[in-house]
């Protein structure tokens, strides 16, 4: 071996020993119970100190919005913690990791053809990153990430270290949840015994966890297929499929145990979809007007996919040159007619009449038919508007 090779090997060994020591210290830190709200900032701090970087993130899946929230971190501008959100689509580094349970490793984010360089990352001058999924209780709780203003800052040793850290954190979060649940159960035991509703809720949550795990496997398979293709068009279509899988996963997140089995309130579900797509396309302003409409899950998924397709189309075609504009998503209910109305509109250049036999048009028509609905494209003064009217049953 040359002198340079020996020095490189010694540096690698020293780095691994340092990481081993950091993980041992972190494990000892978690030997006693620490509330999650204290644990997350401590984790972000240990990452910065252990690796010698200035930026770290602990991202938690926000069940209300359906995206990832910056729950804790180091190095970010004031006001970012607890406020910054990241989408969960395939072009978002933490989003892809959340979907697929596969770490993202990016050496030059500004010039990546595979990942989006978000305004948040650009504002902080981030060039490279590595992240890992935080799995807790059998599902992905969030994403742990290290970021750097230097290109090619991280290597496979950093990735393994971070994944180990994320695994330890996932176990600690699960233990904290069990601790809190046990404490709550003890307090509730004096008031009432568990009834059939709690059993039903538990079974429903188990079903949700299993479904999300299945969808994660599908996303991983699509990601692997995408990486095997050099054709940009094929890659784009596979990425669109991953986004559709994400839309289906959001529907399962909205399962409502207090309605009839597998019932979904469309308003928060479509709100999550619209918010996530707005994060993907920073030039779009998204406005929603969503009334409460409860439908079966097998109707919620096609309606969500319709919103996903129409908003994606608007982002791609309605505003040439990246000029940006507004997209509206509306949901209303006519109780007398027992009919719901879903509309997506934009103020772009207009799409014109649908081409006979076009794949997009056929997909939208097929999705509308799945819910027993009709699809219409009324003429408007500017832009494009698509409406889907569909039957509903019972009061909302």
Provide DSSP, 30-52: TTS---HHHHHHHHHHHHHHHHT
Looking at 150, 181, 212, the residue that finishes a domain is 181
Q: Are 156 and 38 contained in the same domain?
A: yes
Judging by DSSP bridges, how do beta strands 128-136 and 105-106 pair with one another? Answer: antiparallel
Q: Quick one: 217 and 364 in the same domain?
A: yes
Residue 255 and residue 221 share a domain: yes
Residue 187 lies in a domain: no
pLDDT over 50 at 51, yes or no? yes
Q: Is residue 118 situated within a structural domain? A: yes
Identify whether residues 205 and 163 lie together within a single domain. no
Q: Which of 160, 181, 202 is the last residue of a domain?
A: 181
Query: Do 41 and 67 touch, CB atoms closer than 8 A?
Result: no
Q: Are residues 62 and 126 in the same domain?
A: yes
Residue 43's CATH number? 3.30.450.40
134 and 267 inside one domain? no
Mean pLDDT for the stretch of residues 285-311: 90
Q: Where does residue 315 rank: exposed (0-12), middle (13-18), buried (19+ CB within 10 A)?
A: buried
Q: Is residue 186 part of a domain?
A: no
In the predicted structure, residue 339 carries a pLDDT above the cut 80: yes
Q: What is the pLDDT of residue 225?
A: 72
Q: Any idea what the Cα angle at residue 231 is, between residues 230 and 232, rounded to 5°? A: 110
Q: Is residue 111 part of a domain?
A: yes
- What is the percent of the chain with per-residue pLDDT over 90, rounded to a whole number? 40
Assess whether 65 and 209 both reside in one domain: no
The reply to whether 361 falls in a domain is yes
pLDDT interval class at 329 (50, 70, 90) = very high
Q: Do 59 and 19 belong to one domain?
A: yes
User: Under the phi-then-psi rule, with left for phi > 0, alpha for psi from -120 to 50, and beta for the rest, what region is 362?
Assistant: alpha
Closest listed residue to residue 144, CA positions, set 177, 166, 126: 166
Residues 158 and 214 in one domain: no
Span of 8-22, 99-113, 134-148, 317-331 with lowest mean pLDDT = 8-22
Instruction: Supply the pLDDT for residue 395.
Output: 39
CB contact at 8 A, 85 and 62: yes
Into how many domains does the chain fold?
A: 2
Tell me what pLDDT residue 215 has: 61
Of 124, 155, 181, which one is at a domain's C-terminal end?
Answer: 181
The verdict on residue 159 lying in a domain is: yes
Nearest to 295 by CA among 243, 337, 256: 256
Least confident of 4-13, 30-39, 174-183, 361-370: 174-183
* Domain membership flag for residue 161: yes
The tokens of 275 are what?
């918010």
Same domain, 13 and 52: yes
- 396 within some domain: no
CATH code: domain of residue 270: 3.30.565.10
Average pLDDT of the chain, as a whole number: 82
**What per-residue confidence (pLDDT) applies to 257?**
39
In the chain, DSSP assigns E strands to 55-62, 67-74, 85-86, 105-106, 128-136, 139-148, 255-256, 263-265, 284-290, 294-296, 325-334, 339-346, 374-376, 384-391
Are 273 and 358 in the same domain?
yes
Q: What is the pLDDT of residue 206?
A: 59
Q: Which residues of 10-35 are buried (b: 16+ CB within 10 A; e: fewer)?
A: eeeeebeeebeebbeebeeebeeebe
Q: Which residue has the tokens 């479509």?
A: 270
Q: Which range (199-213, 265-279, 289-303, 332-346) has the least confidence? A: 199-213
pLDDT at 212: 62
CA–CA dist 386, 146 (Å, integer): 42
pTM, two decimals, is 0.69
| Domain that residue 11 falls in | 3-181
Q: Read off the pLDDT of residues 220-273 as tens digits, 9 standing for 90 and up.
A: 766 777 777 777 777 777 776 676 677 666 665 655 434 445 678 899 989 988
pLDDT tens sequence across 159-216: 999 999 999 999 989 887 665 555 555 555 445 555 555 554 555 555 555 556 656 6
Contacts (Cβ under 8 Å, ≥6 apart) of 101: 133, 135, 140, 216, 220
Q: Are residues 52 and 158 in the same domain?
A: yes
By the 10 Å C-beta count (0-12 exposed, 13-18 middle, 19+ buried), 325 is classed as middle
- Altogether, the residues listed in the chain come to a count of 396
Is pLDDT larger for residue 278 or for residue 154? 154
Q: Which range (132-136, 185-189, 293-297, 324-328) has the least confidence?
A: 185-189
């Amino acid at each position: 071996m040359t002198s340079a090779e020996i020095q490189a090997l010694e540096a690698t060994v020293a780095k691994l020993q340092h990481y081993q020591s950091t993980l041992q210290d972190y494990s000892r830190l978690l030997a006693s119970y620490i509330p999650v709200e204290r644990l997350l900032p401590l984790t972000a701090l240990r990452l910065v100190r252990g690796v010698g970087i200035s930026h770290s993130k602990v991202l938690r899946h926000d069940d209300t919005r359906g995206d990832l929230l910056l729950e804790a971190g180091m190095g970010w501008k004031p006001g970012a913690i607890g406020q910054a959100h990241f989408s969960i689509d395939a072009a978002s580094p933490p989003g892809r990791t959340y979907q697929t349970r596969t770490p993202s490793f990016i050496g030059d984010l500004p010039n990546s053809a595979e990942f989006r360089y978000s305004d948040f990352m650009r504002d902080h001058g981030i060039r490279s990153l590595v992240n890992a999924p935080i799995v807790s209780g059998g599902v992905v709780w969030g994403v742990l990430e290290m970021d750097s203003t230097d290109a090619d800052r991280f290597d496979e040793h950093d990735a393994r270290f971070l994944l180990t850290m994320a695994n330890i954190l996932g176990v600690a979060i699960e233990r904290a949840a069990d601790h809190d649940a046990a404490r709550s159960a003890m307090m509730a035991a004096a008031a009432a015994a568990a009834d059939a509703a709690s059993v039903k809720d538990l079974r429903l949550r188990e079903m949700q966890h299993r479904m999300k795990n299945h969808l994660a496997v599908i996303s991983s398979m699509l990601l692997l297929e995408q990486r095997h293709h050099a054709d940009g068009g094929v890659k784009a279509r596979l990425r669109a499929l991953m986004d559709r899988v994400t839309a289906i996963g959001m529907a399962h997140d909205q399962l409502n145990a207090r309605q009839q089995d597998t019932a979904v309130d469309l308003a928060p579900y479509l709100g999550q979809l619209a918010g996530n797509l707005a994060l993907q396309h920073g030039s779009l302003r998204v406005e929603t007007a969503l009334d409460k409409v409860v439908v079966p899950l097998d109707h919620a998924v096609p309606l969500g996919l319709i919103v996903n397709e129409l908003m994606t189309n608007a982002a791609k075609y309605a505003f040439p040159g990246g000029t940006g504009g507004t997209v509206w998503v509306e949901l209303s209910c006519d109780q007398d007619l027992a009919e719901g109305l879903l509309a997506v509109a934009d103020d772009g250049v207009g799409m014109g009449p649908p081409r006979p036999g076009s794949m997009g048009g056929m997909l939208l028509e097929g999705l509308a038919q799945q819910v027993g609905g009709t699809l219409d494209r009324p003429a408007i003064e500017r832009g494009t508007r698509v409406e889907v009217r569909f039957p509903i049953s019972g009061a909302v």
